[in-house]
Amino acid sequence: MKIEHLTDREISWLSFDQRVLELAEDSTVPLLERLRFLAISSSNLDEFFMVRVATLMSKIENDVTAANVAGYKPKELLALISTKVNELVSRQSKTLHDEILPELKKHGIEFVKWEQLDETESAYVAKLFQDRIFPVLTPLAVDPTHPFPYISGLSLNLAVMVKNPATQEEFFARVKVPEILPRFIATAKFGSTRFLPLEDLIAIHLQELFPGMAIEDHYTFRVTRNQDIELDEDEAEDLLLSLEQELLRRRFGPPVRLEIEAGVDDARVSKLGSELGIGVENIFHVNAPLNLTSLHKIADLDFSELKYPPFRSRTAKALSEVDSEDSDLFFAAIRQGEILLHHPYESFTSSVVHFLENAAKDPQVLAIKQTLYRTSGDSPIIEALIEAAEAGKQVVAVIEIRARFDEQNNVRWARKLEAAGVHVVYGLMGLKTHAKLSLVVRDEPQGIRRYCHIGTGNYNPKTARMYEDLGMLSADVELTEDLTRLFNQLSGFGPQSTYSRLLVAPRTLRSGLTERIDREIDHAKSGRPAGIQFKLNSILDEGFVAKLYKASQAGVKIELLIRGICAVQPGIKGISENIVVKSVLGRFLEHSRIYHFINGGDDEYWIGSADLMGRNLDRRVESLVMVQRKEHHVRLQSLLDLGLSEETSSWQLSETTWSRPNKKGLTNIHAELIDHYSKDR
C-alpha cells in the first residue's frame, strides 16, 4: 500500500551518496580528502547496485508489478535510478578531471598517459611490464571454440578487438586487469608521484598479448553482479556450511550493471551488453578511469598538508589514571560508576580492547560472553577470546556470519575460535545478531560480579578510528543481569526474557519506542514539556514515519540527525512542519544512535545498535540501553545540540530536497569535538 509523504529507500540512498560526493566537490576540504570522498562515493554506488538494484531487478525478473510503499513500480523505480546514477557519475567525472586532478598536479601528484612519459620513465615502466605484469596476464579470446568468458564482479577489464590479417575476421578478447597489482603505477622506482594507470600500460603492450593479430580497438569496462545472499535457514542443517556454499555461489551472481568507457561505438556497447545480459538502463558510460574506489591508494600518499590535521584519540578520563595492565585497577575503575565512551575521540583500544584483554588474562575472570558482527583482520579482540579459552575460562562468542560482505571473514573467525575451544554460536534462527555486547563474569572477594560493555559500533579497532560511536562500560547489577538474560537467549532458549534497562528487538524495541513517542504526544496535548531528538544512521520504517508525523501534528517538536537514508519528509504543512531533519558528514562516519525523549521534563536518553528500519526492528537482535547518569545526559545533549545547531555545517532536508547552507564560518563538528576532547583532560 502506498504511504503518503514517504521517500523511497533507493532514492534516499542516492541522495546520501550525493552528499558524500558534495564533500569531494567542496574546495574547503583538504585535497587528498576530497579524493578519498570521491572514492567513497564510488564504493557506495558499487554496494547500491550489488544489493539494492540487484533486489529490484529480481522483482522485475519475477514479474512483480505492484507499487512499493513509496508508490513506485519496479520498472519506474529502475528508470529513475538510472537517471540519477548517470547524474552522479557525470558529477564524479567532472570533479575528478576538472577540479581535483589539476590541483593535485600543482602539488606534484600527476596522472599521466604513456605519451607523456619521458625516456627514463618509459624505459622503467616498460621493464616493469615485462618483469612483473606480462607474466600475470591471461588474454581470453571469443571465437567458435572459446565461449564468452566469465567476467568477475567489480573487476576492471580491457575489451580488445583484434583482426586476423589473413582472413580479415574480427574477434573480441578480454584481458582482466589484475587486482593483485597496483592500479596506478609509479613511473620511477623511488619517490615518484607521477602515476600511469595499469590498464593504460597493458593497452600499450596489447600487441605482445596477441602476436600476429591486428589490434583494431580497445576500451575498459567493469561489471557489477548481484552479491546478496539468499540463505534458507529453515532448510540449513549446518548454518556455517550452508553459508560457505552460498558464498561460492555468490561469485556467479547475475550482472546488474555495466560500466563502459565513454566514447565506445554504440554497436560494441550493445554487443557487450547482450553478451552479459544487461539492459540499456543498467549500462553507464564513464570517462576513464573506471573504478574510482582505487583512488584510496592515492589518497593514502604522505602529503600531510593535503590531509586533515593529525589526530590522536585520548584515553577516557575515568581510565586515564589506570594502569591498563592491572586488571584489578581496570575493573575497579568501572565499579566507580558507568563510563560513557565516545569514539574515535576517546580511544577504543584503551577502553574496549583493554577491557577484554584484561578479562582474558585475569585469573579471577570465570567467563566472557561476546557478540561479533564485524571485526578487523588482525583483531586483538579475537586473540583475547582465544587466550581466555586456552586459559580455561568459559568463553561464548555469538558471531553473525551473515554480516553482509564480511561473511567470509566471520566464517574464518568462527572456525579459528572453535578450534581454540570457544563456544561459537550463531544467534537465533531467522534473526541477525547486530547488538554490540560484551559481558565478563568475575569472582571477587564479595562474590560473583559482572561487568559489561554495550555500544553502538562494531568490535573493530580499525574502523573505530574512523567511525563516530558511543559505548558504555558498566558494573551495574541491573544492566549486567539484563545482558546475562540476553546472552542466554542468544545461546540457548529464552524468548520470554524481560529486561530492566534494555529495549531488545524484535520483542520490545518497536513497542518500547512507539510507547515513548505516544507519551510525548500525550505530554504535548497536556501542555507539558515534549520533544523528540534522534541521531541515527537511517530512518525508513513506515510505521515510525507515520508515528512521527502524528507527533508533529500534535505539536511535538522533532529533531532528527540522520546520516544516511531518510524516508521522512519534513516541513509539509499540516503533516510535518514540526519536524527538522539534518545530516552531518565529514572526517568521521557518524555511526552512533541516540534516542532522546523530553518526557515532560524527566528526560530519557537511550543509545544502542538499532536504526529505525524494518530489518533492525523486526529481523535482527538489537539493543538500546537507557543512560542513567545525569552527567552522561549532559554529554549526549551537547552532541545533539552541536549536530542540530544552525551554526554547524550540515545538510538540511526540506520535504525531499537536501541542501547545504552556503554560509561562511560554520562549525565543523569533527574539528570542534577534536578540539574539545584535546582540552578536556
Residue 134: CB partners within 8 Å, gap ≥ 6?
205, 208, 209
> Do 341 and 673 touch, CB atoms closer than 8 A?
no
For 37, 448, 517, 650, the CA distances from 297, given in Å and listed in that order, are 12, 50, 46, 28
603 closest CA partner among 594, 592, 612: 594
- C-alpha cell at position 37: 570522498
Which residue among 434, 591, 632, 670 is the active-site one? Answer: 434
453 a catalytic residue: no
d(CA 433, CA 487): 11
- CA dihedral (253, 259, 264, 269) positive or negative: positive
DSSP E strand stretches across 344-422: 365-372, 394-399
> Do 299 and 39 touch, CB atoms closer than 8 A?
yes
For 72, 329, 360, the CA distances from 321, given in Å and listed in that order, are 57, 10, 21
324 closest CA partner among 391, 369, 380: 380
Please classify residue 184 by burial: count the beta carbons closer than 10 Å to its beta carbon, then call 0-12 exposed, 13-18 middle and 19+ buried. Answer: middle
> Do 351 and 473 touch, CB atoms closer than 8 A?
yes
Residue 177: CB partners within 8 Å, gap ≥ 6?
155, 156, 157, 158, 183, 198, 199, 202, 220
> Do 509 and 503 touch, CB atoms closer than 8 A?
yes
> Do 195 and 110 touch, CB atoms closer than 8 A?
yes
For 82, 231, 500, the CA distances from 483, given in Å and listed in that order, are 46, 28, 10
Contacts of 576-580 spanning 24+ positions with Cβ under 8 A: 576/5, 576/548, 576/549, 576/552, 577/552, 578/551, 578/552, 578/553, 579/548, 579/549, 579/552, 580/644, 580/652
> Residue 599 carries which DSSP code?
G
DSSP strand pairing (436-444 vs 365-372): antiparallel
d(CA 54, CA 48): 8
Q: Catalogue the active-site residues.
A: 434
